Amino acid sequence: MSPAPGKKVPIIDNHMHLDLEGRCVEAAKEFERAGGTAIMLVDKPNWALMRSEAGIREQFGTTLRIADMVRQGTGLKVFVTLAPHPALLPQLVKDIPLDDAVALMRKGVDIATGLVQEGKVVALGEVGRPHFPVPEKIMEASNGIMVYAMERAKDVGCPVTLHTESATEETFVFLAGLADKVGLERGKVIKHFSPPIVDEKVNRGLFPSVVASKDAIEKALAQGDRFMMETDYLDDMRRPGAVMGPKTVPKRTLDLLRTGKMTEEQALRIHKEHPERLYGIELPG
């Protein structure tokens, strides 16, 4: 089913980074011009800055400021996800002992949790473990930080957004086990940069945020509509368009609606019902 003439379909990019030194608000405007209505703004870590509690607070403050800039410069709804990125830990241990680095990462999770309680942030993330090879002790420590983030998410009733290696069925089994260990509802665990593994028997009830390539979204739709869509746009002037450009999610959604490969009901579930329920937010549409 195509949207009725003149009706604006709600479209959210569930994982987008913006940078004051990148296109920033202009990238958000491009998303809006393409038909987007909301973004989930995820912290883009500053490795050099986030080496102390004060630095983490400053970086999180920058992301919140960018969210306000986008709200003022566009008609978009903007929501924020914050936590120390798992790739920060391997950076920290170059200069400080592992135990101190883990303590700082946990403190960053606590700071983000406080911002959830203040109503400034709707989820903890992205947390998890590096997607590249690291020593076993770093991987074990990363898993511990991920469990801690799940515990804090349970404490405040928000979702947790996970960054890991490319997900397989085995990855979903492992992550579901961690959620069960702390008593966090599996459906509150969002797998960022997910492949199109939508079948709950395979993803173990975790919530996939699927990368918005044409092939991935069509494969996801063939299994159902229990997923969200994202670009993981990096806003890096050295790599324009990485990972995907800001207009990808609205363009992909509207193309699928026009060709009948996605119904309006599916679009509403993907871009409104699921994110509203997961994050406790209100979206247009």
Give DSSP secondary structure letters for 94-150: TTS-HHHHHHHHHHHHHHHHHHHHTTS-SEEEEEE--SS---HHHHHHHHHHHHHHH
pLDDT digits (tens, 9 = 90+) for 118-137: 999 999 999 999 999 999 99
pLDDT category at 7 given cuts 50, 70, 90 is low
54-75 average pLDDT score: 98
217-231 average pLDDT score: 98
218-224 average pLDDT score: 98
Domains of the chain and CATH, by start: 12-279 (3.20.20.140)
pLDDT of residue 284: 85
Nearest Cα neighbor of 8 from 264, 262, 218, 183 is 264
H or E element at residue 161:
strand 160-163
Q: Give me the percent of the chain exceeding a pLDDT of 70.
A: 98
**Residue 30 identity (one-letter amino acid):** E
Q: Let me know: does 42 contact 14? Beta carbons within 8 Å.
A: no
pLDDT of residue 8: 79
Arithmetic mean of pLDDT over the chain: 96
Q: Let me know: does 11 contact 250? Beta carbons within 8 Å.
A: yes
How much is the pTM?
0.96
Q: Would the pLDDT of 197 be above 60?
A: yes
Q: Would the pLDDT of 4 be above 90?
A: no
Q: Give me the percent of the chain exceeding a pLDDT of 90.
A: 94
Q: Let me know: does 230 contact 209? Beta carbons within 8 Å.
A: yes
pLDDT of residue 5: 42
pLDDT digits (tens, 9 = 90+) for 16-28: 999 999 999 999 9
pLDDT of residue 93: 97
pLDDT category at 241 given cuts 50, 70, 90 is confident
Q: Would the pLDDT of 2 be above 50?
A: no
